[in-house]
Amino acid sequence: MSSYIYIVGTLLFTVYGQIILKWRLNQLGSLPETLVGKLNFMVSALLDIYIISGFISAFLASIFWMAAMTKFEITIAYPFMSLAPALVFFIGVFFLNESFTWSKIIGLILIIIGTIVTVKF
């Protein structure tokens, strides 16, 4: 059971990385139209401490995933990664003020059911 910490770590670091990138990019604004503007925007974004933390989080998620791959068959571990969209959805709605729709909820329920079926059967 303690091996599941590797899957949970992968999931949490993945979700953190995605949420922090979206949050910070929302604050930085839209990508400019000009090539020079785009380059300046990207350099500025890549030097942002929050965005750097998102990349570090992605790296840590990879480390946790490597550990998980030593403990689980990929056909058991990978379905858990489908829980990331559910976590991102709820965090996005509550903290980033993104839209809540019933079609998204139904889709997430189907993903969760699929995960349960894959892992349990």
Q: Measure the CA–CA gap between 102 and 104, rounded to whole angstroms.
A: 5
Q: Would you call 10 exposed, middle or buried from its count of C-beta atoms within 10 A (0-12, 13-18, 19+)?
A: buried
User: pLDDT higher for 49 or 98?
Assistant: 49
Tens of pLDDT, residues 37-69: 999 999 999 999 999 999 999 999 999 999 999
User: Do residues 80 and 48 make contact, with C-beta atoms less than 8 angstroms apart?
Assistant: no
Model-wide pTM > 0.85:
no
Q: Please give the pLDDT value at position 35.
A: 95
Q: Please give the pLDDT value at position 121.
A: 64
Domain residue spans of the chain? 4-120
- Close Cβ partners of 24 (under 8 Å, ≥ 6 residues apart): 45, 48, 50, 51, 54
